[in-house]
Structure 1
Amino acid sequence: MSNQVEAIVTFNDGIAYVLSQPVEFTYYKQGDLIIGLDDTCTFVSCYFYERPSMGFKAFGGREFDITLENGEVIHCDGQWWDGGYQKAEKLLGEELVRVTYEDIESLKKCYVFSGCKAIASSLSKLRETYDGEVQGYWAYEALLKGRDKPIREDRKQ
């Protein structure tokens, strides 16, 4: 399944991608690193292992499971932290950059974008597929919500 860029929205000092489909990661474990890649090999999510200490756990001690591509389930309870991207860059042999994104249906329900890393060359190719105008953050929110005008003015970039 190929994800399409539905819109590009100004976001803080950069841009956010509005995608046709949710980004879903397939996770691979490499030693003390778990690397998640979407089906287009554009978006990257990483976790690194570090033993938690008393009162200091990843994600505030929130428990969750990560299912790997081989079906193995890793139960996370404070020991898997968001990070390890420099190591992932070396393993993937690719430059990783920050990216802000969300799928259009999720944004219609809750106008909040997500962030992760992306393979720079793949993100550049994805960006090239969009030939529409770059929308202002508040202007795009008004468009999604069916309002005539935004609730706030967008900052000039």
Structure 2
Amino acid sequence: MNPIQIIDVIKHKNAYGYQWFVVVDRMPKRVYTRTGNMLVSNDSGFYDFLAIEGGTKAFGGRKFSIQLDDGSTFECHGQVWSCGAPKGTEPTVQLGIGTIERLRDCYVFSGASVSKARLQEWLDANEPSTDYRKYDRRETEEYWLEVLEACPSLKKQVSAQRARALKRRGVLIFKDGSARFWSPYFERKKAHKAKRTAEAAQ
């Protein structure tokens, strides 16, 4: 399997500081090495850390199997907990990861730990993005136009003179025969995206 390639890095500012989100060409394959009660997976510098600590409430008691690097599987039923990196692991950074395909289907980044050196290597050669929603299909004009197609009531008919005035302000005008329409919904979406992009760049 080819090493994971970092496509983009998003530096997202929120009320508590900055968060990092990494867009990759494929999600990490989680195959774990067991050392005592520790389970560690590492795919191209993308890590996951688990600890066998007993009990029945880890991950809400959900039952699942994980693959070990010796070819066997380990059955989890509430006794395996997410944990921090064990001693001896290279420095890592906690962040969110996702592929473009997964994000377009559902805009949720998965949690992961990545090698600090791997992340820094990409940042040394590239500029991170600042728009957290840049891969969200719901934040594209293509999607908004689909909404308008499904909900024509979101458009308002205007006179030809009013349409010309709106167009000079940068408003998108829709035509249906001789009728002219504009959409407050579409314009609010555009304005919100422009504001968010400007704020993220500050």
Same fold (TM over 0.5): yes
Which structure has more RCO (C-alpha within 8 Å, separation ≥ 6)?
1
Alignment of 1:3-22 (within 5 A): 3-11=4-12, 12=14, 13-22=18-27
In the TM superposition, residue 68 of structure 1 has moved relative to its aligned partner by 0.3
Matched-pair identity in %: 27
**Structure 1 unmatched ranges of 5 or more:** none
**Structure 2 unmatched ranges of 5 or more:** 145-189
Say yes or no: does 1:61 pair with 2:61. yes
Q: Which amino acid aligns with 1:114?
A: S
Alignment of 1:32-51 (within 5 A): 32-38=37-43, 40=44, 42-51=45-54
Q: 2:136 aligns with which of 141, 144, 149?
A: 141
Alignment of 1:4-153 (within 5 A): 4-11=5-12, 12=14, 13-38=18-43, 40=44, 42-52=45-55, 57-85=57-85, 87=86, 90-92=87-89, 94-129=90-125, 131=126, 134-142=129-137, 145=140, 146-147=142-143, 149=190, 153=195
Aligned Cα root-mean-square deviation (Å):
2.5
SS in 2 for 1:108: helix
- Distance of 1:21 and 1:150 partners within structure 2: 33
SS in 2 for 1:112: coil
Quick check: 1:4–1:21 contact (8 Å CA) kept in 2?
Answer: yes
Q: Which amino acid aligns with 2:6?
A: V
Q: Which amino acid aligns with 1:134?
A: S
- Deviation digits for residues 90-113 of structure 1, max 9, x if unmatched? 233x11221221111111111110
Distance 1:58 1:142, change over 3 A: same
Computing the radius of gyration over CA atoms, which structure comes out larger, 1 or 2? Answer: 2
Quick check: 2:21–2:96 contact (8 Å CA) kept in 1?
Answer: yes
In the TM superposition, residue 126 of structure 1 has moved relative to its aligned partner by 3.5
